[in-house]
Structure 1
Amino acid sequence: MAKVWTDEENEFLEQHAGKMTIPTLAKRISEEFGNNRTVAGVQARLKRLGITNLLQETGRMTMNELSVLIGADHKAIRRWIENGWLPYVKRKVVFKRQFYLIKATSFWEFAEKHKDQVNFLRIEPNSIAPEPEWVEAERKKEYYDTPKRQSKLWDKEQDELLISMKKAGYSIKEISERLKRTVSSVHSRKKMLTDKGFILPDQITLRWTDKEIQLFYKLEQEGYTDKQIACELGREEYHIRRKRFSLRKSGKYKGAKQKWEHGKVS
C-alpha cells in the first residue's frame, strides 16, 4: 500500500531540494523514513509542494526562468554569461543535469551596466525581487520612447518568449497574460510553431499498466483524493480523472467513485 507523505518527509524535501539530484532524494528518504519512495513519486511530491521555483527557494534563477521573466531569448543570457558580464553558479537540480543559476542582485547589477541589452518594459514590476528603484524610471522611459504597435502581428521576440515559456511548463493562459494576447491567439501561434518543429508536441501520457490500474482502484477504495492518487502514481491529477472517464466509457470501471451529472449521482 502506498503511504501518505509525512511531515518529516515533506520537511526533508523542502530542506534538500536543489542540493541533491531527485534519485538521491528518493534514496535518502527511503533509507531514513522507510517508505520506499520512487523517483516519480518524489517528482510529483515536489510539484505538489510547489518546490519548483529556484528564485523563491534559493534566491537564484535558472537561465530559462530569467529568460521568461525578462522576455529575452535564453541564448542572449548565455552570451552575457560567456562574455563575463553576468555572474552565475552551477548546481545539480534534477538527475545529472547542471543549471546556470543567477542571483537577482547579480542580474540587476548587470542590467544597470548594460541597459542597452535589456528591455525593461517587458519586465513585470517586482517580478525579480528586490527590484532597484532606478528600474521603474527605465521602464517609463522605454514606454514613452517606444512607438506604439499599429498591429498585433507576432514578431521573432514574442515567438522566442512563447517557446521559452512553453518549455518552462507555463500554461497557455499564463503565456497569454504575459504576452498580453488572447488565449486563442496563443493556441494558434503555438500550433504553428509546433508544426514547424520549434516546439515539441505535448507529451503523450504514458500507457497505464495493469498494476497501476489496480493500485488506482485500491487507493480509491481507501478514500484517497485524486490529487493524492496522482502523487502516489507519479502522474498529474488530470491523468487520474481522464483514466476514470475512459474506463467508464469502455464499461471497465471498477472503482469506488460514482459518476456525477447535473448535480445528481448517476
Structure 2
Amino acid sequence: MGRKWTSEDISFLQKRVGSCSLSAIAKQLNRSENAVSLKLKRMGLGNTKNATGLLTGNELAEALHVDRKTVHNWIQFHGLEATSRITCYERKFCLIDVNSFWQWAEQNQKKIDFSIIEKHTLPPEPEWVDDARKTNTEKTIKIYKRWTTKEIELLIRWKEEGISLNEIAEKLSRSRISVERRYARCKIILE
C-alpha cells in the first residue's frame, strides 16, 4: 500500500488538475502517475472536461452543426471566449462556458444558423434564441470546407494552365482568398 494522501496533497491535486499534465502533477507530489490517476478518478476528477462543466470546441461544433475549425476560428479571430486546459495525459483542449457562448452568439447572430439547432441543445438557452430560430434567414453562413486531394490537384493543374484564381475559385465553389491561400501553401511544398 502506498503513502497516505494528505489534505495538502488533495488540495494541490484539485488546483492543478486541468492546468498541468498528469506526469507534472505526479512529479510535484513525488508519486507515480498511476497513483495520481487513481486518486483523480476516486475524487471524480478523472475527466478534466467533465470536471469543469465546460464544452470542448468539438462538442460545441457538433451541437451547432458546424465544422470544428469554424468554432476554433471564432475563438481565434472573432472573440469567442475559451479556456485552454490540459487533460491528464497532456492533450490540450479549448473549453467554452455555455453562458459565455450565448453572450457571444447574441452579438454574432450572423455567424450561426439557429434554425438547425435543436431547442435546449445547450442549456440554459436564452429567450432571444427562439426568435433567432424562427427568423427566416437568407444569410450566408461561412462554413469551413476541408480541401480534398482532388481539389488540390485541380488547383495546381489549372494554375499551371494559366487559369486565374478567380476562375478556379468559381469552378471549385470556394472563395478567391481560400484558393489563393491554398495555392500559396502548395507552392511552398512544391519548391
TM-score when scaled to structure 1? 0.39
String of CA shifts for 1:40-97, please: whole Å, max 9, x gaps. 343344345432254752x643312323443432111112223324233434444544
Deviation at 1:10, TM superposition (A): 4.7
Correspondence for 2:15: 15
String of CA shifts for 1:120-169, please: whole Å, max 9, x gaps. 4535527344x322124434x27xx6xxxxxxxxxxxxxxxxxxxxxxxx
How many pairs are equivalent? 135
Unaligned runs of 5+ in 2: 137-191
Correspondence for 2:64: 70
3-state SS of the aligned residue for 2:81?
Answer: coil
Correspondence for 1:134: 128
Amino acid paired to 1:122: I
2:24 paired with 1:24: yes
User: CA distance change for structure 1 residues 75 and 25 in 2, over 3 Å: closer, same or farther?
Assistant: same
Identify the match of residue 78 of structure 2 among 56, 77, 84.
84
3-state SS of the aligned residue for 2:132?
Answer: helix
Paired with 1:6 and 1:95, the residues of 2 have a C-alpha distance of: 21
Amino acid paired to 1:72: V
Paired with 1:55 and 1:119, the residues of 2 have a C-alpha distance of: 27
Contact between 1:69 and 1:128, CA under 8 Å: does it hold in 2?
A: no
Paired with 2:6 and 2:62, the residues of 1 have a C-alpha distance of: 33
Q: Percent identity?
A: 29
Deviation at 1:23, TM superposition (A): 1.0
Contact between 2:48 and 2:87, CA under 8 Å: does it hold in 1?
A: no
Contact between 2:57 and 2:95, CA under 8 Å: does it hold in 1?
A: yes
3-state SS of the aligned residue for 2:20?
Answer: coil
2:120 paired with 1:125: yes
Amino acid paired to 2:24: T
Amino acid paired to 2:122: S
Paired with 1:123 and 1:28, the residues of 2 have a C-alpha distance of: 45
Paired with 1:47 and 1:69, the residues of 2 have a C-alpha distance of: 27
Identify the match of residue 99 of structure 1 among 90, 93, 96.
93
Deviation at 1:99, TM superposition (A): 3.0
3-state SS of the aligned residue for 2:93?
Answer: strand
User: CA distance change for structure 1 residues 68 and 27 in 2, over 3 Å: closer, same or farther?
Assistant: farther
Amino acid paired to 1:138: A
Give the CA RMSD over aligned residues: 3.7
Unaligned runs of 5+ in 1: 146-266
Note the 1:1-266 alignment, pairs <5 A.
1=1, 6=5, 8=7, 9-29=9-29, 31=30, 36=31, 38-51=32-45, 52=47, 54=49, 57=52, 60-120=54-114, 121-123=116-118, 125=120, 127-129=122-124, 131-139=125-133, 141=134
Contact between 1:54 and 1:60, CA under 8 Å: does it hold in 2?
A: yes
User: CA distance change for structure 1 residues 53 and 19 in 2, over 3 Å: closer, same or farther?
Assistant: closer
